[in-house]
């Protein structure tokens, strides 16, 4: 992996070189002429050919020439890192969820505004190929029934990741918030949660399954089922019946069906799209911080009935 | 109890004539020349000498001359009532918490803005006599340590109120959010939650006790202990050590001590103050909807470690 040598490219650093950085961020940056991966901060190894620092603080001090950082760490340590980078005058891109708490997300938004830097709280599923066309199709239609199923095998997607089971790790809402990020992006009417049932493995602090009910206050029937105990194939789908036809998103938003007919989509990939958006936001001097998906998650915890389930062992 | 006959008074209706309406709202309105209690909507009896309707819908239809309503019902049914009143062009005052979910609070705020009416999401503890002076004293000082203890006997304060134990009823956060409403009002630096332990009686859906830790991101040590199992006297106190002296609020904010010396306070009462504020907001065409205390509560549920405690029986 070598960084782009385009001299007009914006130097960017990645903080936290774990699974998501290696699977998504680094390949996306390698193919993007707008950015040049100029450094990393990581305790678990860096990227070949790219300067690596032990800490974000060391990176910020040594490389004032790098104007942007992308934070690829779990939610709990993210606030301190984002705050440090913003205080050093850098533009910041965050993985979802944008924080371990809502209060810290609103605080980061205010800090970025005061510092005059771009903060991009990214929701990668919103960059799935079907999402923008779905939003366009739904605009002007009236949803009557929404059914979301987001079911995957946690052992396959989060092998040995202890932080997902600790407070702030969100449990099954780590994938479920992807569905909520799509829903809040495409649904033409605002929804709020009315009921939630969360199942916690008796040896874990976060839920392994969640059943949610939303309303628009006008009789719209919206439900979501998130489950990490799925075996035999992931299900990431959303079905919306409207007053003028039915929309279905499959494969996490990558495939779109209108009235049963699959739509041809232009797929540039989620993370390449996110970095294009980050570049645009920096160029326009704007931020994009939408806490709506995390608000629904916090509401689901606050309004939830909590059930104890079987213990979970990796 | 008779309503004021001041012809310049603003007609107001109370929706939900329960304990809090009889204890606080109705006496406060009776003494306030700015308002005239013109009607109530209640299924459990009204107020002598005041027209009573079975439902808010019937009240709004029959009395277009009443420009303001005060909602004194539990949080879960509040959204639908507030929305109905706002849609009918009425100014609305809400008891705390302003909703069962955050999403519905943000939605109500938007609806009021669109309708051009005043929405006042009241936090009665912010109107306690010591709060405004505490805020003034803290401005410009730097808090170093904050300790909140909010402990009361649930059997004394919520006898037989089943809704507090149901999802959305918030459990011990029903009083605890009063402490958080004071904290967010007076603390000169923004805080966010970093840890939370919630104890749920094994037969109830909401917590009976909570221990919270907050930070400002700069080493401020802030903790709060909420407990509904208190016997032998309520404790509602907050102690803030700063770089220039110590502040203590006792009795839910009614008494203020600076460096151990009690301050003389001008006490007009919480609810009379709230109605004065509601009248001012209406006169100025403004709303006041601060979700910050409820954001901390939602964060405490989302970030919480959930413990099972002994069953609770009324």
Q: What are the structure tokens assigned to A124, written together?
A: 């990668």
- Alpha-carbon distance of B223 to B212, in angstroms, equals 6
Instruction: For chain B, positions 212-271, list CB contacts with chain A under 8 A.
Output: 217
Q: Which of B104, B167, B301 sits opposite A298 (nearest CB)?
A: B301
The pLDDT tens digits of the residues spanning B195-237 come to 999 999 999 999 999 999 999 999 899 999 999 999 989 999 9
Domain residue ranges of chain B, discontinuous segments joined by +: 10-124+270-288, 126-267+297-309
Q: Which of B107, B168, B299 sits opposite A102 (nearest CB)?
A: B299
Q: Which of A83, A217, A303 sits opposite B168 (nearest CB)?
A: A303
The pLDDT tens digits of the residues spanning B107-148 come to 999 999 999 999 999 999 999 999 999 999 999 999 999 999
How would residue B6 be classed by pLDDT, with cut points 50, 70 and 90?
A: low
* Phi, psi (deg, nearest 5) at residue A58: -65, -40
The pLDDT score that the predictor gives to residue B75 is: 85
* Cα of A241 to nearest chain B Cα, Å: 23
The mean per-residue pLDDT over the stretch B185-191 comes to 97
Spatial neighbors of B150 by CB under 8 A, at least 6 apart, are B175, B176, B178, B179, B224, B225, B226, B227, B235, B236, B237
The nearest alpha carbon in chain A to B207 belongs to: A302
The pLDDT score that the predictor gives to residue B74 is: 86
DSSP label of B120: E
DSSP label of B257: E
The nearest alpha carbon in chain A to B191 belongs to: A103
Chain B residues within 8 A of A195 when measuring between CB atoms: 167
The pLDDT tens digits of the residues spanning B53-111 come to 999 999 999 999 999 999 999 888 899 999 999 999 999 999 999 999 999 999 999 99
Chain B residues within 8 A of A168 when measuring between CB atoms: 302-303
The pLDDT tens digits of the residues spanning A226-253 come to 999 999 899 999 999 999 999 999 999 9
* CATH number of the B126-267+297-309 domain: 3.30.360.10
The nearest alpha carbon in chain A to B192 belongs to: A103
Residue B2 has pLDDT above 70, yes or no: no
- Alpha-carbon distance of B163 to B74, in angstroms, equals 7
* CATH number of the A10-124+270-288 domain: 3.40.50.720
* Number of A–B residue contacts, CB under 8 Å: 99
| CB-based contact B36:B5 (threshold 8 Å) | yes
Q: CA A44 → CA A55, A65, A66, A73, B191, distances in Å?
A: 11, 24, 21, 12, 31
- Alpha-carbon distance of A302 to A310, in angstroms, equals 22
Chain A residues within 8 A of B306 when measuring between CB atoms: 200, 205, 306
Question: How does the average pLDDT of chain B come out, rounded?
Answer: 95
Residue B5 has pLDDT above 70, yes or no: no
Q: Is the minimum CB–CB distance between B157 and chain A shorter than 8 Å? A: no
Q: Where does A230-303 show beta strands of DSSP type E?
A: 235-242, 245-250, 255-258, 261-262
- Alpha-carbon distance of B173 to B207, in angstroms, equals 8
What's the ipTM?
0.94
pLDDT < 50: residue spans in chain A:
1-4
Could you say which of A96, A144, A151, A156 is catalytic? A96
Q: Which of A192, A205, A306 sits opposite B104 (nearest CB)?
A: A192
Answer whether B200 sits within 8 Å of A306, measured CB to CB.
Answer: yes
- Alpha-carbon distance of B190 to A134, in angstroms, equals 38
How would residue B287 be classed by pLDDT, with cut points 50, 70 and 90?
A: very high
Q: Which of B176, B290, B191, B192 is nearest to A100 (CA)?
A: B192
Q: Which of B101, B217, B304 sits opposite A192 (nearest CB)?
A: B101
Burial of B271 (0-12, 13-18, 19+ CB in 10 A): buried
Answer whether B167 sits within 8 Å of A301, measured CB to CB.
Answer: no
Which has more confidence, B71 or B161?
Answer: B71
Spatial neighbors of B138 by CB under 8 A, at least 6 apart, are B186, B187, B188, B240, B242, B247
Bridge-partner residues for A309, per DSSP? A201
The pLDDT tens digits of the residues spanning B300-311 come to 999 999 999 999
Answer whether A200 sits within 8 Å of B297, measured CB to CB.
Answer: no
Q: Is the minimum CB–CB distance between B80 and chain A shorter than 8 Å? A: yes
Cα atoms in the 13 Å half-sphere on the side-chain side of B102: 26
- Alpha-carbon distance of B76 to B101, in angstroms, equals 8
The mean per-residue pLDDT over the stretch B290-302 comes to 98
Bridge-partner residues for A307, per DSSP? A199
The pLDDT tens digits of the residues spanning A120-133 come to 999 999 999 999 99
Answer whether B192 sits within 8 Å of A299, measured CB to CB.
Answer: no
Instruction: For chain B, positions 282-301, list CB contacts with chain A under 8 A.
Output: 292, 295-299, 301
The pLDDT score that the predictor gives to residue B72 is: 95
- Alpha-carbon distance of A94 to A289, in angstroms, equals 10
């Amino acid at each position: 992996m070598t960084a782009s040598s385009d001299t007009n490219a914006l130097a960017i650093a990645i903080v936290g070189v774990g699974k998501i950085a290696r699977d998504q961020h680094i390949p996306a940056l390698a193919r993007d002429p707008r950015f040049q991966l100029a450094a990393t901060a990581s305790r678990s190894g860096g990227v070949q050919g790219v300067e690596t620092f032990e800490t974000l603080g060391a990176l910020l001090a040594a490389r004032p020439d790098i104007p942007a950082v992308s934070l690829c760490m779990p939610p709990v340590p993210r606030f301190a890192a984002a705050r440090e980078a913003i205080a050093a005058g850098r533009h910041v891109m965050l993985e979802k969820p944008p924080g371990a708490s809502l209060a810290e997300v609103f605080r980061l938004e205010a800090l970025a505004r005061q510092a005059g830097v771009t903060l991009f709280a990214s929701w990668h599923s919103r960059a799935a190929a079907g999402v923008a066309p779905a939003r366009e199709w739904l605009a002007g239609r009236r949803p009557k029934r929404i059914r979301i199923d987001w079911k995957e095998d946690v052992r396959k997607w989060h092998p040995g990741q202890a932080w997902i089971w600790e407070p702030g790790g969100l449990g099954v809402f780590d994938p479920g918030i992807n569905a909520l990020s799509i829903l809040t992006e495409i649904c033409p009417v605002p929804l709020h949660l009315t009921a939630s049932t969360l199942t916690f493995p008796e040896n874990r602090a976060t839920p392994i399954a969640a059943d949610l009910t939303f309303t628009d206050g006008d009789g719209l029937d919206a439900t979501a089922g998130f489950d990490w105990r799925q075996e035999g194939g992931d299900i990431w789908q959303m079905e919306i019946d409207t007053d003028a036809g039915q929309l279905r998103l499959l494969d996490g938003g990558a495939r779109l069906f209108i009235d049963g007919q699959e739509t041809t989509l232009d797929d540039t990939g989620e993370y390449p799209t996110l970095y294009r958006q980050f570049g645009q936001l920096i160029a326009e001097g704007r931020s994009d911080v939408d806490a709506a998906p995390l608000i629904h998650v916090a509401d689901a915890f606050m309004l939830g009935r909590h059930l104890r389930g079987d213990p979970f062992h990796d």
